[in-house]
C-alpha cells in the first residue's frame, strides 16, 4: 500500500503523553464507530494503476463506489508512471500472493505472463459476457491466453498519421509516399522531418510490430511457442531503414519516445508525426498556430495493397487470485470499464474506448474528431506477440533494432531468428 507514515506527512514526532491520550481517544472513537456504522464492514477493493493526471480514473472510481451502495469501496493505489516500473511492482507483489491487490490495470502484453503464473483469475459466465459484449475483438485478444479471458478491456489506443496541412494538402497513403513527400519538402527548404519513436524501449517494438504486421507477417506463432520471422520481417526492416537513412529522419531518432516526438512536431520542424491521439489536444493547448494546420489520417500503408495493421495499445483490468473478495472485485472491475466510465476516460482522460458503440457517442465524437479513423484502425489492428516471456521478446527486438540507423535488414532478420528462439525459452535475458 502507499499509505504514508505520520512523519512522511510532515507531522513529525509526538510527545509521549499526547500520543497516549490520542491513542485512548482514537480507541474509544473506534469502539463507537464499530457499534454505530456499517462503513467499517464495507470491503475495500484495492485497484492498482498508474497515476492519472486528468482525474478521469478517480471519477470512474467515485461513480462505481456510489453505484455499489455500500457493497464495496474501491481505493485507487498508484503504480509508477513507466510500464516497466508498473510491471516490476506488480510482479513482486503478485508473486508474494499479496492480498492487498484486488484489481490490477494490466498493459495489453501482460495477460499471458500473469495468467500462466496463476496471478489473475479467468473471467467466466455472465460477467465475461458482460465485458465482452460490443468490445473490440483485438482488445479482447490482448486480454486472453490459450482461449480464456483474463482481463476486461478498459481503454485502447492506436497511432495515427499527423501532418501539417499547410505543407501537405493531401496526406500520403503509403510509407514510401510519406518519406518521398518529406524529402521533397526538405529540398524546398520547408519543415520535412518525420517524427516516430526509435529509442531503445517498448515504443521501438511497437513500431517494428506494426511494420511486420502491415507486411502481412508475424513475429511469433499465435500460441507464442515458435518464431515466425520470415521475408516479411526483412521487408519491414527495409522500410524502417529507408526512413532512418533519409533526410527526413529526425537526427534524434534513436532517442525519441512518444513525448519527444510530440515536442519535435510542435517545434515546427516536422511535416509528419506517427503518434497517439494525445498529441492533438496537446498541440491545441501548446501551439495553436501549428494546431490550426494539424491534420490526421490513417497510419500509412506499408504494403500498398492492404491497410496498415497498427499495434493496439491500452489497459485490461485483471482480478487477482490473492484477492479476499474476488466476486466483488469482478463486479467492480466490470463497473470501472462500463460504457459510462469508458466515456469519462475518453472525454476527460483522452484514452480511446474499447466499446465499439461509444465511437458514435456525440460527446466522444466531439472530443475525437478523428473517431472514425481510430475505430477503423482498431478494427484492423495487430497485437504484439502473445507469450508469457513477452518481456524477453521485447528486449530482444529492442536490442536488434537499436539504433534504427544501423539496421542491416537481412542481418537483423537472422539475429532475430536466433535471439527470439532463446527469448521465448527465457534463455540469456533477465527481465
Cα–Cα distance between 214 and 311 in angstroms, integer? Answer: 10
Q: Is the pLDDT of residue 428 over 90?
A: no
Pick the more confident residue, 12 or 314.
314
Q: For residue range 196-253, what is the model confidence (pLDDT) as tens digits? A: 999 999 999 999 999 999 999 999 999 999 999 999 999 999 999 999 999 999 999 9
The pLDDT assigned to 31 comes to 37
Bridge partners, residue 270, by sequence:
193
- When mean pLDDT is compared across 36-45, 184-193, 277-286, the lowest value belongs to 36-45
* Cβ density class 388-415: b for 16+ within 10 Å, e for less: bbbbbbbbbbbebbbebeebebeebbeb
Kindly report the three-state secondary structure assignment for every residue of the chain.
Answer: CCCCCCCCCCCCCCCHHHHHHHHHHHHHHHHHHHHHCCHHHCCEEEEEEECCCCCHHHHHHHHHHHHHCCCCEEEEEEECCCHHHHHHHHHHHHHCCCCCCCEEEEECCCHHHHHHCCCECCCCHHHHHHHHCCECHHHHHHCEECCEECCEEEEEECCEEEEECCCCCCCCCEHHHHHHHHHHHHHCCCCCEEECCCCCCHHHHHHHHHHHHHCCCCCECCCCCCECCCHHHHHHHHHHHHHHHCCCECCCHHHCCHHHHHHHHHCCCEEEEEECCCHHHHHHHHCHHHHCCEEEECCCECCCCCCCCCECEEEEEEEECCCCCHHHHHHHHHHHCCHHHHHHHHHCCCCCCCEHHHHHCHHHHHHCCCHHHHHHHHCCCECCCCCCCHHHHHHHHHHHHCCHHHCCHHHHHHHHHHHHHHHCCCCCCCC
- For 160-311+389-423, CATH gives 3.40.190.10
Q: Is the pLDDT of residue 17 over 70?
A: no
Q: For residue range 84-121, what is the model confidence (pLDDT) as tens digits? A: 899 999 999 999 999 999 999 999 999 999 999 999 99
The pLDDT assigned to 99 comes to 97
The pLDDT assigned to 81 comes to 87
Q: Is the pLDDT of residue 28 over 70?
A: no
Q: Is the pLDDT of residue 56 over 60?
A: yes
Q: For residue range 370-399, what is the model confidence (pLDDT) as tens digits? A: 999 999 999 999 999 999 999 999 999 999
The pLDDT assigned to 16 comes to 34
Q: For residue range 252-265, what is the model confidence (pLDDT) as tens digits? A: 999 999 999 999 99
Bridge partners, residue 103, by sequence:
47, 319
The pLDDT assigned to 426 comes to 83
The pLDDT assigned to 402 comes to 98
**pLDDT band per the 50, 70, 90 thresholds, residue 313:** very high
The pLDDT assigned to 32 comes to 38
Q: Is the pLDDT of residue 14 over 60?
A: no
The pLDDT assigned to 83 comes to 87
Q: Is the pLDDT of residue 5 over 80?
A: no
Name the average pLDDT for the chain.
91
Q: Is the pLDDT of residue 1 over 60?
A: no
The pLDDT assigned to 10 comes to 32
Domains 43-156+313-378 and 160-311+389-423 share a fold: yes
Over residues 37-50, mean pLDDT: 84
**Topology (CATH) of 43-156+313-378:** D-Maltodextrin-Binding Protein; domain 2 (3.40.190)
The pLDDT assigned to 11 comes to 31
Q: For residue range 132-149, what is the model confidence (pLDDT) as tens digits? A: 999 999 999 999 999 999
Q: Is the pLDDT of residue 34 over 50?
A: no
Q: Report which of 279, 313, 282, 312 is spatially closest to residue 296, judged by C-alpha positions.
A: 279
Over residues 120-124, mean pLDDT: 98
**pLDDT band per the 50, 70, 90 thresholds, residue 128:** very high
Pick the more confident residue, 42 or 20.
42
Q: What percent of the chain has pLDDT over 70?
A: 90
Distance set, CA 401 to CA 203, 236, 398, 421 (Å): 11, 12, 5, 16
Cα–Cα distance between 123 and 106 in angstroms, integer? Answer: 15
Q: Is the pLDDT of residue 19 over 50?
A: no
Structural domain spans, the chain: 43-156+313-378, 160-311+389-423
Q: Is the pLDDT of residue 172 over 90?
A: yes
**pLDDT band per the 50, 70, 90 thresholds, residue 82:** confident
Cα–Cα distance between 265 and 320 in angstroms, integer? Answer: 41
**pLDDT band per the 50, 70, 90 thresholds, residue 40:** low
Over residues 344-356, mean pLDDT: 96
- CB atoms inside a 10 Å sphere around CB 343: 19
Cα–Cα distance between 304 and 371 in angstroms, integer? Answer: 24
Q: Report which of 295, 308, 302, 278 is spatially closest to residue 377, judged by C-alpha positions.
A: 308
Amino acid at each position: 500500500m502507499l499509505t504514508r507514515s505520520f512523519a512522511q506527512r510532515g507531522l513529525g514526532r509526538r510527545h509521549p503523553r499526547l500520543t497516549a491520550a490520542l491513542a485512548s481517544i482514537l480507541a474509544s472513537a473506534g469502539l463507537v464507530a464499530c457499534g454505530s456504522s456499517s462503513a467499517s464492514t464495507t470491503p475495500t477493493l484495492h485497484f492498482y494503476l498508474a497515476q492519472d493526471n486528468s482525474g478521469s480514473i478517480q471519477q470512474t472510481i467515485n461513480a462505481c463506489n456510489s453505484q455499489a451502495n455500500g457493497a464495496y469501496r474501491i481505493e485507487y493505489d498508484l503504480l509508477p508512471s513507466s510500464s516497466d516500473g508498473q510491471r516490476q511492482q506488480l510482479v513482486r507483489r503478485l508473486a508474494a500472493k499479496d492480498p492487498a491487490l484486488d484489481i490490477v490495470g494490466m498493459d495489453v502484453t501482460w495477460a499471458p505472463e500473469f495468467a500462466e503464473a496463476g496471478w489473475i483469475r479467468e473471467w467466466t459466465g455472465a460477467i465475461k459476457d458482460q465485458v465482452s459484449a460490443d468490445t473490440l475483438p483485438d482488445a479482447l485478444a490482448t486480454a486472453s491466453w490459450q482461449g480464456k479471458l483474463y482481463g476486461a478491456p478498459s481503454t485502447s489506443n492506436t497511432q495515427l498519421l499527423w501532418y501539417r496541412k499547410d505543407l501537405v494538402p493531401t496526406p500520403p497513403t503509403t510509407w514510401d509516399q510519406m518519406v518521398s513527400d518529406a524529402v521533397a519538402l526538405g529540398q524546398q527548404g520547408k519543415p520535412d522531418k518525420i517524427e516516430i519513436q526509435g529509442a531503445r524501449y517498448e515504443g521501438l517494438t511497437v513500431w517494428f510490430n506494426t511494420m511486420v504486421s502491415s507486411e502481412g507477417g508475424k513475429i511469433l506463432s499465435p500460441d507464442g511457442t515458435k518464431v515466425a520471422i520470415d521475408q516479411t520481417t526483412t521487408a519491414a526492416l527495409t522500410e524502417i531503414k529507408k526512413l532512418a537513412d533519409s533526410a527526413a529522419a529526425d537526427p534524434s531518432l534513436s532517442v525519441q519516445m512518444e513525448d519527444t516526438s510530440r515536442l519535435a512536431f510542435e517545434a515546427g520542424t516536422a511535416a509528419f508525426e506517427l503518434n497517439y491521439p494525445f498529441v492533438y489536444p496537446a498541440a491545441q493547448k501548446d501551439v495553436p498556430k501549428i494546431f490550426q494546420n494539424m491534420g490526421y489520417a490513417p497510419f500509412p500503408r506499408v504494403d500498398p495493397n492492404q491497410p496498415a495493421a497498427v499495434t493496439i495499445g491500452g489497459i485490461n483490468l485483471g482480478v487477482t487470485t490473492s484477492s479476499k473478495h474476488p466476486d466483488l472485485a469482478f463486479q467492480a472491475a466490470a463497473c470501472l470499464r462500463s460504457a459510462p466510465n469508458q466515456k469519462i476516460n475518453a472525454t476527460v482522460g483522452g484514452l480511446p474506448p474499447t466499446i465499439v458503440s461509444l465511437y458514435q457517442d456525440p460527446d466522444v465524437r466531439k472530443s475525437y474528431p478523428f473517431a472514425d479513423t481510430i475505430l477503423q484502425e482498431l478494427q484492423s489492428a495487430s497485437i504484439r506477440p502473445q507469450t508469457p516471456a513477452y518481456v524477453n521478446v521485447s528486449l530482444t527486438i529492442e536490442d536488434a533494432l537499436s539504433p534504427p540507423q544501423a539496421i542491416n535488414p537481412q542481418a537483423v532478420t537472422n539475429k532475430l531468428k536466433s535471439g527470439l528462439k532463446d527469448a521465448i525459452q527465457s534463455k540469456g535475458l533477465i527481465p
